[in-house]
Amino acid sequence: MSLNYQSFLENKEQRVIDYGKVIDLVDIHAKLFNWQKDIVKWATRKGRCAVFLDTGLGKTFIQLEWARLIGENTLIIAPLSVARQTVREATKIDLNIKYVREQSEISGRISITNYEMIEHFDYTKFNAIVLDESSILKSIGGKTRRLLTDLCVDIPFKLCCTATPAPNDYIELGNHTEFLGICKMQEMLGMFFVNANKEHTIAFENKLYRRKGSNKNGTEWRLKHHAEQPFFKWLSSWAITMVKPSDLGYDDNGFILPTLNIIPTYIHTEYKPTDQLFFTHLQGITNRVEVRRDTLQDKMAELKRIVDSDNGQWIIWCGLDTESKEATKLFADAVEVKGSDSIEHKVQTIEGFQDGKVRIMVVKPKIAGFGMNFQNAHNMIFLGLNDSWETWYQCIRREWRYGQKEPVSVYPIMHDAEQEIYQNIMRKDTMARRLRESLIAHIGDYEKGELGMTTHLTTDYKEDTIKGDGWLAMLGDSCQRLKEIKENSIDLSVYSPPFADLFTYSASERDLGNSNGMTEFLNHYAFIIREVLRVTKAGRITCVHTSDIPAMAQRDGYIGLKDFPGEVIRAYQKEGWIFVGRAYVQKNPQSQAIRIHSKALAFGQLRKDSTDIRPALIDQVLFFRKLGDNAVPVTPVENGEMDNEMWIEWAHGIWLGISETETLQVGKARNADDEKHICPLQLGTIERCIKLYSNPNEMILTPFGGIGSEAYMALKLGRKATLIELKPEYFNVAVQNMKVGESLSNRKDLFSGVKVG
């Protein structure tokens, strides 16, 4: 392998490579603020990325400069009202872009259209695409979203921009990664998340990302505990998230929001559902719409009182056609914007409101609630509410955004029956703020690194060495610490390598288990296989505990088994080991079914459809020999550790009589963040390997020490032991277990010292 180990670790990091072009800051328009210039420079270098900036931080300028500097034929797609606004904003940085509805209207290098027109273009004519208000990837129908992703699949440069705090929604993030061509959503979920359907505790104050994201099938996901740091690092390699300039170390001067006043108003009148004797609580969407419709006239007097109290401009947000119609009739200077209106009327009214020519605009959130700049006004009314926090947040941020000079007043007018809707939105709002604050705190340093700023990220990698009577324990990375062991000094090695399962026990790239797929796992494993070969004496054996690995639909795309033992055999043979045999260790299928909750072992599945059942997973111990002649014969019979009857039993190749519960205790080693319980190798399996392939007083190596099971048994059986373990929590328990093994040792000669070169 050509890569050295350090280079391999750097390449192993979960991050997105650069697809774009390197530019200088001087190439960027002088009107942009410093953070906008840095983000433009970063985004142009990335080529495929997302910009999650809060409202008013200049995403429009950033995407326009990105399109100009990428230098390719570019199509910007935005909501209709935002598209027209972007054309006006472009002139402020000396760009002339054209709003178009179909391919034949394209005349310049940068064009803009709206989402409703996406099927009217030939995407082979574009090398760059921008999605403005890209949170629409979550809200638009699955068919349309899929179409948009498919249409743009071959476009090399892609940029997504939205103010919505997308990192709070894993499914929206997955939609972004798919559109950008970074990875499939299922790949993202497989790397960093676990199915959280059975988890019911959400601890927002104590731990980031206990929140669940859910997909269309209702499956909920939680970020793996050990995956938090790698996830933030990966996220920052393709997305910049900023709520205010100081989040990334810039000055907030001029970007401090004014006061936001939320003034809920309740209408107290008798309300009785048509199918109930009296009102108890809201029941579903239909009931919510019915309440809004049936209590509308009760809200009209309060609506007029509030609007008449201030002669300034007002936005009245409506959800129903009847609300919009009745609100418009109430005021002589109100102008209604509805979905059936012509494009010209929508644009004329919205721009008229921005220019101060329209005092009261009555409109639905889906028409003007995303991306628009309405800092010209500072009053708004919600004539009734739905449960969408995103709609609430986005509508408020049309006025309450950077550049607003006045305090913003928001008046939700509700009937008493709608109180639980408002309470639900407030709960979600509190939740979202906490998540965003936590996200910014965790991701900031990584983003500063992406932007080329100085960071002080530290690594938690540690090394230590502890010696005892007959044993040596080494804390650290086996790929490195094995190099300290003298060549041809190990008589036998016994160990269970981690099975590729991302972020199960640690976040470190040094963790062999943290591999994105079998190929990366085997490339990492090869460093250890070669070193174990180097330190092993000629003609001696290494015993490797393995098992088939279940393939899961969410992670692997199918349900079945992966032949992990076969992969290990090929990996060892590739590095020069000779495969000499294997032993199967019998397992109890019922206890395995209880432990792993697999339907493939369930009685119910046997009765439902037996094509989905399989035998229990059986441990396999693989035996490999190093080339050369063994200088010191291993004689278990002469050592008094085996007789012919025992050999006949073991020689079957199916090892019976090994107790599954006879293992070292793992409680002290388990970390609260570990995704899976440690499964130490059964002591009976280790005993057979040691007695078969080593003599008393010989040196036994375990490069994946865990809690020290192999070293413990080696010492107990009168051997010497060398252990290497990466995780400090496991290492500390392993040392204690080695001390116990030392006290139980029947070894006759004192340890003379491990041969460390």
Q: Which residues contact 142 (CB under 8 A, 6 or more apart)?
A: 216
Say if residue 526 is in the same domain as residue 661: yes
Whether 652 is covered by a domain: the verdict is yes
Q: What is the mean pLDDT of residues 198-222?
A: 43
Task: Please give the pLDDT value at position 753.
Answer: 41
CB atoms within 10 A of CB 162: 25
At 512, the amino acid letter reads L
Task: Please give the pLDDT value at position 516.
Answer: 76
Residue 650: exposure state from Cβ atoms within 10 A (0-12, 13-18, ≥19):
middle
In the DSSP assignment, the letter for residue 485 is B
Task: Determine contact, residues 474/483, Cβ cutoff 8 Å.
Answer: no
Task: Please give the pLDDT value at position 213.
Answer: 47
Q: Is 131 helix (H, G, I), strand (E, B) or coil?
A: strand
Task: Please give the pLDDT value at position 614.
Answer: 75
Angstrom distance (rounded) from CA 393 to CA 24: 36
Task: Determine contact, residues 749/697, Cβ cutoff 8 Å.
Answer: yes
Task: Determine contact, residues 494/690, Cβ cutoff 8 Å.
Answer: yes
Q: Is 657 helix (H, G, I), strand (E, B) or coil?
A: coil
Q: Is the pLDDT of residue 674 over 60?
A: no
Say if residue 85 is in the same domain as residue 136: yes
Q: What is the mean pLDDT of residues 190-204?
A: 53
Residue position matching structure tokens 């709609």:
391
Task: Please give the pLDDT value at position 135.
Answer: 79
Task: Determine contact, residues 410/259, Cβ cutoff 8 Å.
Answer: no
Q: Is the pLDDT of residue 277 over 60?
A: no
How confident is the prediction for the chain on average, in pLDDT? 85
Angstrom distance (rounded) from CA 512 to CA 520: 9
Helices (H), 203-339: 228-236, 284-294, 296-308, 321-330
> Per residue in 597-643, pLDDT tens?
666 767 777 778 777 777 778 899 999 999 999 999 999 999 999 99
Q: Is the pLDDT of residue 524 over 90?
A: yes
Task: Please give the pLDDT value at position 99.
Answer: 95
Instruction: Read off the pLDDT band of 281 (50, 70, 90).
Output: low
Angstrom distance (rounded) from CA 742 to CA 747: 9
Q: Which residues contact 738 (CB under 8 A, 6 or more apart)?
A: 468, 471, 473, 708, 711, 712, 715, 721, 723
Task: Determine contact, residues 616/592, Cβ cutoff 8 Å.
Answer: yes
Encoded tokens for 587: 């397992």
Say if residue 636 is in the same domain as residue 711: yes
Q: What are phi and psi of 724, to 5 degrees?
A: -125, 130
Q: Which domain holds residue 389?
A: 260-429
Q: What is the mean pLDDT of residues 215-239?
A: 73
Q: What is the mean pLDDT of residues 324-344?
A: 93
Task: Determine contact, residues 700/494, Cβ cutoff 8 Å.
Answer: yes
Q: Is the pLDDT of residue 413 over 90?
A: yes
Instruction: Read off the pLDDT band of 752 (50, 70, 90).
Output: very low
Instruction: Read off the pLDDT band of 354 (50, 70, 90).
Output: very high
Task: Please give the pLDDT value at position 228.
Answer: 76
Cα 64 to chain center, whole Å?
A: 29
Task: Please give the pLDDT value at position 112.
Answer: 96
Whether 221 is covered by a domain: the verdict is no
* More confident call, 263 vs 756: 263
User: What percentage of residues in the chain have a pLDDT greater than 70?
Assistant: 85
Q: What is the mean pLDDT of residues 721-736?
A: 94
CATH assignment of the domain containing 84:
3.40.50.300
Q: Is 67 helix (H, G, I), strand (E, B) or coil?
A: helix
Reported in sequence order, the residue ranges of 547-677 that DSSP labels E, i.e. its strands, are 549-551, 560-562, 578-585, 619-625, 654-655
CATH assignment of the domain containing 496:
3.40.50.150
Lowest-pLDDT range of 291-300, 502-511, 630-639: 502-511
CB atoms within 10 A of CB 555: 17
Q: Is the pLDDT of residue 515 over 70?
A: yes
Lowest-pLDDT range of 2-6, 392-396, 653-657: 2-6
Query: What does R_g of the chain's alpha carbons equal in angstroms?
Result: 32
Domain edge (last residue) among 198, 217, 252: 252
> Per residue in 552-594, pLDDT tens?
766 677 788 889 999 999 999 999 999 999 999 987 766 666 5
Say if residue 688 is in the same domain as residue 730: yes
Identify the helix (H) or strand (E) that includes residue 533.
helix 518-535
Task: Please give the pLDDT value at position 554.
Answer: 64
- Alpha carbon distances (Å) from 151 to 123, 129, 146, 520, 689: 6, 11, 8, 31, 58
Q: What is the mean pLDDT of residues 666-685?
A: 64
Identify the helix (H) or strand (E) that includes residue 223.
strand 220-223
> 728-743 and 709-716 are packed helices; what angle lies between their axes, rounded to 10 degrees?
10
In 3D space, the residue among 536, 548, 458 whose CA is nearest the CA of residue 693 turns out to be 536
Whether 113 is covered by a domain: the verdict is yes
Whether 336 is covered by a domain: the verdict is yes
Q: What are phi and psi of 197, to 5 degrees?
A: -60, -30
Q: Which residues contact 201 (CB under 8 A, 6 or more apart)?
A: 210
Domain edge (last residue) among 199, 219, 252: 252
Angstrom distance (rounded) from CA 513 to CA 603: 32
CB atoms within 10 A of CB 231: 26
Task: Please give the pLDDT value at position 707.
Answer: 93
Task: Determine contact, residues 248/52, Cβ cutoff 8 Å.
Answer: no
Encoded tokens for 478: 């086996």
Q: Is 195 helix (H, G, I), strand (E, B) or coil?
A: strand
Say if residue 287 is in the same domain as residue 405: yes
Angstrom distance (rounded) from CA 406 to CA 533: 73
Instruction: Read off the pLDDT band of 461 (50, 70, 90).
Output: confident
Task: Determine contact, residues 376/314, Cβ cutoff 8 Å.
Answer: no
Instruction: Read off the pLDDT band of 750 (50, 70, 90).
Output: very low
Angstrom distance (rounded) from CA 451 to CA 237: 10
Q: What is the mean pLDDT of residues 226-239?
A: 81
The DSSP bridge partners found for residue 128 are: 74, 157
- Alpha carbon distances (Å) from 575 to 8, 520, 530, 624: 18, 16, 6, 11
Task: Please give the pLDDT value at position 757.
Answer: 43
Task: Please give the pLDDT value at position 136.
Answer: 74
* More confident call, 80 vs 95: 95
Q: What is the mean pLDDT of residues 186-196?
A: 75
Whether 406 is covered by a domain: the verdict is yes
- Alpha carbon distances (Å) from 468 to 293, 465, 713, 720, 747: 80, 10, 15, 10, 14
Whether 150 is covered by a domain: the verdict is yes
Say if residue 294 is in the same domain as residue 388: yes
Say if residue 290 is in the same domain as residue 247: no
Task: Determine contact, residues 59/35, Cβ cutoff 8 Å.
Answer: no
Task: Please give the pLDDT value at position 668.
Answer: 54
Lowest-pLDDT range of 132-141, 566-575, 706-715: 132-141
Lowest-pLDDT range of 380-394, 501-515, 580-594, 701-715: 501-515
Q: Is 106 helix (H, G, I), strand (E, B) or coil?
A: coil
Cα 490 to chain center, whole Å?
A: 41
Number of structural domains the chain divides into? 3
Say if residue 394 is in the same domain as residue 484: no
Task: Please give the pLDDT value at position 599.
Answer: 67
Lowest-pLDDT range of 69-78, 168-177, 459-468: 168-177
Residue 646: exposure state from Cβ atoms within 10 A (0-12, 13-18, ≥19):
middle
Cα 683 to chain center, whole Å?
A: 37
**Most confident residue range from 182-196, 558-572, 583-597, 736-750:** 558-572
Domain edge (last residue) among 252, 284, 311: 252
- Sign of the torsion angle spanned by Cα atoms 178, 181, 183, 184: positive
Q: Is the pLDDT of residue 342 over 80?
A: yes
- Alpha carbon distances (Å) from 743 to 471, 696, 717, 725, 757: 12, 16, 11, 21, 28
The count of C-alpha atoms lying within 13 angstroms of the C-alpha of 543, restricted to the half-sphere facing its C-beta, is: 26
Say if residue 360 is in the same domain as residue 378: yes
Angstrom distance (rounded) from CA 606 to CA 614: 10
Residues in the chain: 757
Whether 495 is covered by a domain: the verdict is yes
Say if residue 692 is in the same domain as residue 730: yes
Say if residue 478 is in the same domain as residue 534: yes
Q: What is the mean pLDDT of residues 463-478?
A: 96
Identify the helix (H) or strand (E) that includes residue 365.
helix 365-368
Angstrom distance (rounded) from CA 400 to CA 377: 9
Torsion of CA 57, 58, 62, 68, to 10 degrees: -170
Whether 483 is covered by a domain: the verdict is yes
Q: Is 581 helix (H, G, I), strand (E, B) or coil?
A: strand
Encoded tokens for 103: 């391919």
Task: Determine contact, residues 20/70, Cβ cutoff 8 Å.
Answer: yes
DSSP-derived pairing of the beta strands 720-725 and 578-585? unpaired
Instruction: Read off the pLDDT band of 350 (50, 70, 90).
Output: very high
Say if residue 148 is in the same domain as residue 276: no
Instruction: Read off the pLDDT band of 676 (50, 70, 90).
Output: low
Q: Is the pLDDT of residue 212 over 60?
A: no
